[in-house]
Amino acid sequence: MTDTAVPTRRADPVAEVDRLRSTFATGRTRARGWRIRQLRGLERMLAEREDEFAAALASDLGRPSVDAWLADLAPTAAESHYARRHLRRWMRRRRTGLPLSVLPGRAHYEYEPLGVVLVIGPWNYPAYLTLAPLVAALAAGNCAVVKPSEYAPATAELLGTLLPRYLDPDAVAVVPGGPDETQALLAQGLDHVFFTGSPEVGAKVMEAAAPHLTPVTLELGGKSPVIVAADADVEVAARRIAWTKLMNSGQTCIAPDYVLADAAVADDLTERIVAETTRFRGGRTGGLRVVDARQATRLSGLLDGHGGTVVTGGTVDPDARTVEPTVVRDPDVGSRLMTEEIFGPILPVLTVDGVHAAVAHVNSGPKPLAAYVFTASSTTARRVTRDVPAGATVVNHLMFHVLAPQLPFGGVGRSGTGAYHGRFGFETFSHRRSVLRKPTRPDPGFVYPPYDGRTERLLRRIF
Ligand code: NAD
């Protein structure tokens, strides 16, 4: 726990889960009308309470209100709106054909809710990354326990106050707190756990879910690389890299973690990134606010002994919770800066001898949540997509894939398990139930034992 990690309101995890289980047993959350009402309620909350959310996000993260809207509220509302518009189609049962061995009969599969699910949120986008999974859970007809991050206490408090007012309070519960409260919830043997956070804590969540065989979705992090090829539009690449790195002071799971620049463009790219960073700050100097002193101290540690050259920035003030936007040229590949997820406004730029070397570097570490490549060549783009396993690949931009509900969002390997957004979130929180209906007649005798040579030959042909 840090100076800012204050559990907001006590709620008994066991009693809350029991309460939600009783609600789920009534069956009312299965109705499409109920699901639509929840999504509408959520959208209404975001519209009516925008100022309160902006104030909470400013308090937790020092975020300007335009960023609160852009990065937390607007994408949550868009996710809910999309789910609401497509829900009828998603919920439709799907008829299927049958093989000869199963005929005669009729079959379909349908989506049913899982039951009482748990959403564990992180602090970096504490509204969006807690509410977007909730959208999927409600669209799929579940009851949900929401456990917001204790490191964004104002947002956690606000969610605790508002969600029961705008949503069915017997189907959605907010349980604030940290690891102890989360472990107490996990010990209840819930029907699904959706976790967003670090790989280290993700492993603990998976471990706590395992004894109950509770399925988990893990939205984790990692070092998302940006490969800049010799043929890239360096001007645009620099602008987009600087913009996305500055967003939320670099505390974004799909932020560019580091750049691998072809030697032919590395100097030009670095200079331009520095220039764009200055321009985007609109005359402001000094550090950018990060969430708390613990994170500032951690980032300061990453700036020790990296073996590279600090091109700009480098100052960290843990007391003020600020970190200067920093570009480090050619740090040691074995340094902490190049092996740990940065999650702050520090950007290493590594010079590499072509795309091949860049791909080899990325593949020497765990699979990232996102891989970005700037190139004018579709062959290079295809090659990087094929050769770098990652949660997602974006060509000539960064982070925009998160805004498309048509795309599954999730990691692979150490960057996560499972996915959500749009239909993929609905599927994550649903069970695909198979239903097969058979007539009692005809009831051919040859399928039942004992078998003779003739019936065995027949069975071998059919099955
Ligand atoms: P975190 O792992 O520290 O905490 C996440 C949540 O886990 C919090 O709600 C916390 O209370 C809970 N928790 C902490 N210890 C626990 C324990 N022992 N048992 C059970 N629960 C516990 O993550 P964070 O610092 O809030 O977020 C930063 C990390 O999250 C980064 O690694 C980032 O890349 C990742 N992230 C991933 C995504 C994504 O969508 N894939 C999005 C945002 C952040």
Whether 252 is in the pocket of ligand 1, judged by its Cβ within 6 Å, is no
- Cα torsion 389, 392, 398, 403 to 10°: value is -170
For the chain, give every domain's residue range.
13-220+413-435, 225-405
Q: In CATH, which of 3.50.50.60, 3.30.56.10, 3.20.20.140, 3.40.605.10 is domain 13-220+413-435?
A: 3.40.605.10
Q: Cβ contacts of residue 3 below 8 Å, gap of 6+?
A: 292, 293
Q: What's the CA-to-centroid distance between 162 and ligand 1, angstroms? A: 23
**Tens digit of pLDDT at every position of the chain (463 positions):** 333 444 445 679 999 999 999 999 999 999 999 999 999 999 999 999 999 999 999 999 999 999 899 999 999 999 999 999 999 999 999 999 999 999 999 999 999 999 999 999 999 999 999 999 999 999 999 999 999 999 999 999 999 999 999 999 999 999 999 999 999 999 999 999 999 999 999 999 999 999 999 999 999 999 999 999 999 999 999 999 999 999 999 999 999 999 999 999 999 999 999 999 999 999 999 999 999 999 999 999 999 999 999 999 999 999 999 999 999 999 999 999 999 999 999 999 999 999 999 999 999 999 999 999 999 999 999 999 999 999 999 999 999 999 999 999 999 999 999 999 999 999 999 999 999 999 999 999 999 999 999 999 999 998 9
Evaluate whether 375 touches 355 at the Cβ level (below 8 Å).
yes
Pairing between β-strand 309-312 and β-strand 326-329 as defined by DSSP bridges: antiparallel
- Cα torsion 411, 412, 416, 417 to 10°: value is 110
Q: Which of 35, 16, 330 is nearest to 175 (CA)?
A: 16
Question: Residue 192 is encoded by which pair of tokens?
Answer: 């699904």
What pLDDT, on a 0 to 100 scale, did the predictor assign at position 11?
A: 77
Residue linked to tokens 């909470």 = 56
Atom of ligand 1 at shortest range from CA of 391: 41
What pLDDT, on a 0 to 100 scale, did the predictor assign at position 387?
A: 98
Atom 8 of ligand 1: nearest residue by CA position: 149
Label residues 310-328 b or e (16+ Cβ within 10 Å = b).
Answer: bbbbeebebeebbbbbbbb
The fourth-level CATH superfamily of domain 225-405 is: Aldehyde Dehydrogenase; Chain A, domain 2 (3.40.309.10)
Other C-beta atoms lying within 10 Å of the C-beta of residue 148: 29
What pLDDT, on a 0 to 100 scale, did the predictor assign at position 3?
A: 39
Other C-beta atoms lying within 10 Å of the C-beta of residue 44: 12
Q: What's the CA-to-centroid distance between 143 and ligand 1, angstroms? A: 22
Q: CA 70 to CA 81: how far, in whole Å?
A: 16
Whether 343 is in the pocket of ligand 1, judged by its Cβ within 6 Å, is yes
Q: What's the CA-to-centroid distance between 203 and ligand 1, angstroms? A: 11
What pLDDT, on a 0 to 100 scale, did the predictor assign at position 218?
A: 98
User: What residue type is assigned to position 363 of the chain?
Assistant: N
Q: CA 91 to CA 421: how far, in whole Å?
A: 16
Whole-prediction pTM value?
0.95
- Cα torsion 314, 1, 67, 247 to 10°: value is 30
Other C-beta atoms lying within 10 Å of the C-beta of residue 3: 9
Q: CA 421 to CA 100: how far, in whole Å?
A: 37
- Cα torsion 179, 181, 184, 190 to 10°: value is -100
Q: Cβ contacts of residue 37 below 8 Å, gap of 6+?
A: 168
219 assigned to active site = yes
Q: What's the CA-to-centroid distance between 129 and ligand 1, angstroms? A: 10
Would the CATH topology of 13-220+413-435 be identical to that of 225-405? no
What pLDDT, on a 0 to 100 scale, did the predictor assign at position 308?
A: 98
Evaluate whether 269 touches 349 at the Cβ level (below 8 Å).
yes
Q: Cβ contacts of residue 160 below 8 Å, gap of 6+?
A: 8, 9, 11, 148, 174, 176
Evaluate whether 399 touches 244 at the Cβ level (below 8 Å).
yes
Whether 140 is in the pocket of ligand 1, judged by its Cβ within 6 Å, is no
Whether 150 is in the pocket of ligand 1, judged by its Cβ within 6 Å, is yes
Question: Residue 372 is encoded by which pair of tokens?
Answer: 């970005």
